[in-house]
């Protein structure tokens, strides 16, 4: 059974964190992010293209993600996104806030909390530029950096 989406206010807080978390694991292009959000959250954090691209635009503006154009095997150009160092610091900060919130709700017996995993995935990107995110590969054209 598909889960219902969360209220708009909760999505404003959870959406950026969810996107940064996915990008921490590997760089992705927009449609790939839409599919991963829906699949990995059982549809709870599913969002449409306009919502996601607005979110990515805002994250880029805040220098929390960087982007680059890459040509796929099909020959199609796609814009890939990855977190900046600032984005990773923001993610760590928000993870702690959400953990406190979830703990507080669990204390009220509103939800059951699974024990957190102690291992974090190694990121597939490399952050070395002034914005904290450097494209991987020779076919990349960096976008959104000045």
Q: For 52-78, give the secondary structure using H, E and C.
A: HHHHHHHHHHCCCEEEEEEECCCCCEE
DSSP alpha helix (H) spans, the chain: 8-25, 30-40, 49-61, 85-107
pLDDT exceeds cutoff 60 at 60? yes
Confidence of residue 82 (pLDDT cuts 50, 70, 90): very high
User: Are the C-beta atoms of 20 and 65 separated by less than 8 Å?
Assistant: yes
106, pLDDT greater than 60: yes
The pLDDT confidence band at residue 102, using thresholds 50, 70 and 90, is confident
pTM above 0.85, yes or no: no
Instruction: State the pLDDT confidence band at 8, using cuts at 50, 70 and 90.
Output: confident
The pLDDT value given to residue 21: 96
Q: Report the half-sphere exposure of 144 (CA within 13 A, side-chain side).
A: 25
Mean pLDDT of 48-74: 94
Q: What is the pLDDT, as a whole number, of residue 139? A: 40
Q: Residue 141 above 80 pLDDT?
A: no
The two tokens of residue 17 are 């964190």
pLDDT, average across residues 19-31:
96
The chain-wide mean pLDDT, for the chain, equals 80
Instruction: Name residue, tokens 């306009």.
Output: 50
């Amino acid at each position: 059974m598909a889960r219902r989406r969360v209220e708009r206010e909760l999505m404003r807080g959870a959406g950026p964190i969810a996107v940064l978390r996915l990008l921490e694991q590997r760089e992705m292009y927009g449609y790939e992010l839409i599919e991963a959000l829906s699949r990995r959250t059982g549809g709870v954090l599913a969002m449409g293209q306009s919502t996601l691209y607005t979110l990515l635009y805002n994250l880029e503006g805040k220098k929390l993600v960087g982007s680059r154009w890459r040509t796929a095997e099909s020959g199609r150009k796609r814009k890939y996104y990855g977190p900046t160092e600032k984005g990773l610091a923001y993610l760590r900060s928000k993870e702690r806030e959400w953990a406190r919130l979830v703990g507080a709700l669990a204390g009220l017996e509103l939800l059951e909390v699974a024990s957190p995993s102690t291992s974090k995935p190694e990121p597939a990107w490399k952050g070395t530029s002034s914005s904290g995110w450097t494209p991987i590969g020779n076919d990349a054209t960096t976008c959104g950096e000045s």
